[in-house]
């Protein structure tokens, strides 16, 4: 089979479809604003704002298309020709995406592993197709393999990106955890905590005052009892009174936000598990994020990806689908 067929009408169409599929999900990737940094530093507001958008939903739906096209291309006899079409299509797609969307240099590391995983996928699919000429079993096999390959790709990229600056990324994650517990304004956080404490105290005091034992105690004429009753009444009055901003500032006159955050940070850093995590942070985050991604890959490629494979197989092979 001549390699000039790649540049004929049908070959160019296949390369264009691969490239266009990458440009589509890259558009939604950039539009969603998802970033590795927000995941690492536990920026919950950014994570939620990203995951609950239509852009992110379309990214999840369109991401398997490229892999499905590569699988559909690989169920023929011209292995080298298919590999060349996959290589040119993916390369062209990311080059155009870079010119349009301007992603970071670290993203090229993902591109390299992504390309390698799909070339390997094409070889595995081709060999499997030779063994058993059934599209259904072949698609399940190929989709399971690309899920593993992409998870491994994500792990390697995250590990290699974080490893040179592991201490810095670990510090950012711990600060992110501080923000989760404390937030930007520790005064509001402590104010809420103080109000809850007052409400709890007031509830306990009211329970004591309403009890039969306390009412009987009030009937006794004893100086010690009088002092105790006055003490309870003072607590009731103080716990029921509203606390103004001035009162709160007076109660926490020595409050220093940075000092408190540093104390929380020190507490987090001293946890035995965090000591181990800090030492192997790149490995820990790589496994964590790749494991979460594996859940998506397994679902997406077994459901949506399977449908895409059937569609593109029919397109590329003139509807000659042989199934079990």
Q: Which residue has the higher pLDDT, 234 or 174?
A: 234
Half-sphere exposure of 171 (CA within 13 A, CB side): 5
pLDDT score at 43: 66
Q: Which of 243, 241, 164, 169 is nearest to 205 (CA)?
A: 241
- From residue 318, alpha-carbon distances to 157, 174, 211, 285, 322 in Å are 38, 56, 86, 45, 12
Interval 107-123: pLDDT, tens: 888 899 999 999 988 88
Q: Are the CB atoms for 26 and 101 separated by under 8 Å?
A: yes
- From residue 113, alpha-carbon distances to 81, 99, 107, 225, 315 in Å are 21, 20, 10, 79, 28
Burial degree of 26 (CB within 10 A; 0-12, 13-18, 19+): buried
Neighbouring CB atoms inside 10 A of 177's CB total 16
pLDDT score at 239: 74
Mean of the per-residue pLDDT values of the chain: 77
Interval 176-198: pLDDT, tens: 666 665 555 555 555 666 667 77
| Distance separating alpha carbons of residues 27 and 46, to the nearest angstrom | 19
Interval 210-266: pLDDT, tens: 888 888 887 787 888 778 888 888 888 877 777 666 665 665 555 545 666 666 666
Report the residue count for the chain: 324
pLDDT score at 180: 60
The owner of tokens 């990806």 is: 305
Averaged pLDDT, 25-35: 87
Ramachandran region, residue 256 (left: φ > 0; alpha: ψ -120 to 50; beta: rest): beta
Averaged pLDDT, 16-35: 90
Chain mean position to CA 126: 33
pLDDT score at 181: 58
Averaged pLDDT, 271-287: 79
**Is the pTM above the cut of 0.75?**
no
Q: Is the pLDDT of residue 154 over 80?
A: yes
Q: Is the pLDDT of residue 3 over 90?
A: no
Q: Which helix (H) or strand (E) holds 28?
A: helix 9-32
- In the structure encoding, which two tokens stand for residue 62, read together? 């369109």
The owner of tokens 């589509």 is: 24
Mean pLDDT is lowest, of 132-136, 143-147, 212-216, 228-232, for 132-136
Q: Which helix (H) or strand (E) holds 242?
A: none
């Amino acid at each position: 089979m001549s390699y000039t067929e790649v540049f004929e009408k049908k070959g160019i169409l296949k390369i264009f479809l691969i490239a266009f599929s990458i440009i589509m999900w890259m558009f939604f990737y950039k539009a969603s604003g998802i970033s590795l940094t927000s995941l690492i530093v536990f920026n919950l507001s950014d994570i939620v704002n990203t995951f609950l958008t239509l852009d992110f939903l379309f990214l999840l739906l369109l991401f398997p298309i490229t892999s499905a096209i590569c699988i559909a291309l690989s169920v023929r006899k011209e292995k080298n020709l298919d590999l060349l079409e996959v290589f040119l299509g993916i390369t062209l797609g990311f080059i155009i995406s870079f010119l349009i969307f301007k992603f970071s240099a670290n993203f090229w590391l993902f591109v390299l592993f992504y390309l390698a995983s799909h070339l390997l996928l094409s070889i595995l699919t081709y060999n499997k197709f030779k063994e058993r000429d059934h599209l259904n079993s072949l698609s399940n096999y190929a989709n399971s393999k690309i899920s593993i390959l992409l998870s491994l790709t994500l792990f390697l990229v995250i590990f290699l990106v974080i490893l040179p600056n592991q201490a810095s990324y670990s510090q950012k994650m711990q600060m992110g955890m501080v923000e989760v517990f404390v937030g930007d304004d520790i005064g509001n956080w402590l104010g809420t905590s103080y109000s809850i404490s007052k409400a709890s105290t007031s509830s306990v005091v009211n329970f004591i005052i309403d009890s039969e034992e306390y009412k009987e105690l009030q009937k006794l004429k004893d100086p010690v009892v009088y002092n105790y009753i006055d003490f309870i009444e003072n607590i009731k009055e103080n716990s029921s009174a509203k606390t103004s901003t001035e009162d709160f500032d007076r109660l926490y006159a020595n409050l220093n936000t940075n000092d408190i955050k540093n104390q929380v940070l020190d507490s987090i850093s001293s946890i035995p598990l965090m000591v181990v995590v800090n030492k192997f942070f790149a490995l820990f985050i790589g496994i964590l994020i790749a494991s979460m991604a594996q859940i998506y890959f397994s679902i997406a490629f077994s459901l949506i990806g399977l449908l895409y494979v059937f569609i593109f197989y029919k397109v590329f092979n003139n509807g000659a689908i042989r199934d079990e």
